[in-house]
Amino acid sequence: MAFNMKIGFIGLGKMGNRMVGKLASAGHEVVVWNRTESVSKDLQREISSITVSSGIKDLIESLPTPRVIWIMISHKGVDEVLREVKQYLEKGDVVIDGGNSHFLDTEKRFNEFEKLGIHFLGVGTSGGILAEKNGYPFMVGGAIKGYEIIKPVLDSLSKPNGGYQYFGTGGAGHFVKMVHNGIEYGIMQSLGEGFEVLEKSKYNFNLLDIAKLWQKGTLVSGFMLDRAKDALEKNEKLDDIVGSIDASGEALWTIEEAKKEQVDVEIIERSLEYRIRSKKDKKIQNSFTARMVAALRREFGGHSVKEKTV
């Protein structure tokens, strides 16, 4: 996909601002809007090629047709933004929800926009804050015509090592991302538990050495183990962290859908329960398992951790 596009981008959080930077560096023209204007202005000082709009109407009117709008905000605020976006879009335009929306909400939005002739896409976005360098993986669902239009954008954002795939209409992309995040909970929990068994053994293991060796072609090597290594390099004991672990919602949605499908997802379910208990249970908060899971979230997603006070 060799040609560049002009795209509107709404939402400049931890993921959004990095995606805008990657698009701009690839030569795309990016017009941005963020509810807190100072965030947009700060980003423009870092990336002089982007344009800051005064509002959603201004952003949309500055784009050529077919207009492409990428929304990168919390799922709780998507409908409010879409109500305003809808006022100014025309038939043939493309709207992308790149956040972690529930697939049934995406299904509903897809149907609403389809009636207007507007191509709505629900795009599950993974890779965390490291994807700015490594490339984003995108799980795409919604209007196939919209997908074809935005391929140059997906191509730029996925380089060098990411990727993108279209999975079907409606909420298909967000369904795939939902299950991805449920699996993620189980992987993180397993790593935390395994390292705690090592940490409590009689052998006085160097956990960083173990993580580094496991990276070298073992069956548990991969992205999340790499993040465990990064966390252990900062502090092998992780004793500066309180193991209070947030849960963002997708694991619960996976469990709910699994029950409808009569699928047993015990690992995902117990991983979520552990996170919920970690918010109040001091024993869990002090465990190496919980501290590792919290540290992993910090490493791949830039999520805040509760620091231990002396």
- Given the residues 22, 132, 177, 299, select the one marked as catalytic: 177
Alpha helices in the chain (DSSP H): 16-25, 37-46, 56-61, 78-88, 103-115, 131-134, 144-158, 172-199, 207-214, 223-234, 250-260, 266-278, 282-285, 288-301
Q: pTM for the whole thing?
A: 0.95
- Say if residue 308's pLDDT is above 90: no
From-to residues of CATH 3.40.50.720 in the chain: 6-169
The Cα 42–Cα 129 span in angstroms is: 18
Question: Has 6 been annotated as catalytic?
Answer: no
253 pLDDT more than 90: yes
Q: Where in the chain is the domain with CATH 1.10.1040.10?
A: 177-301
Q: Which CATH number fits domain 177-301: 3.40.50.300, 1.10.1040.10, 1.10.10.60, 1.20.58.220?
A: 1.10.1040.10
With 70 as the cut, is the pLDDT of residue 92 above it?
yes
Edge to edge, what strands does the sheet with 137-142 contain? 51-52, 29-33, 6-10, 68-71, 94-97, 119-125, 137-142, 163-166
Task: Tell me the percentage of the chain whose pLDDT exceeds 90.
Answer: 95
Establish whether 283 is a catalytic residue: no
Q: What is the mean pLDDT of residues 291-308?
A: 93
CATH code for residues 6-169: 3.40.50.720
**pLDDT grade, residue 75 (50/70/90)?**
confident
105, 75 contact by CB (below 8 A): yes
Q: Which of 18, 26, 14, 40 is nearest to 100 (CA)?
A: 14
DSSP category for residue 64: P
Give the C-alpha separation, 26 to 251, whole Å.
Answer: 34
pLDDT tens profile 8-40: 999 999 999 999 999 999 999 999 999 999 999
- Active-site annotation holder among 22, 107, 132, 184: 184
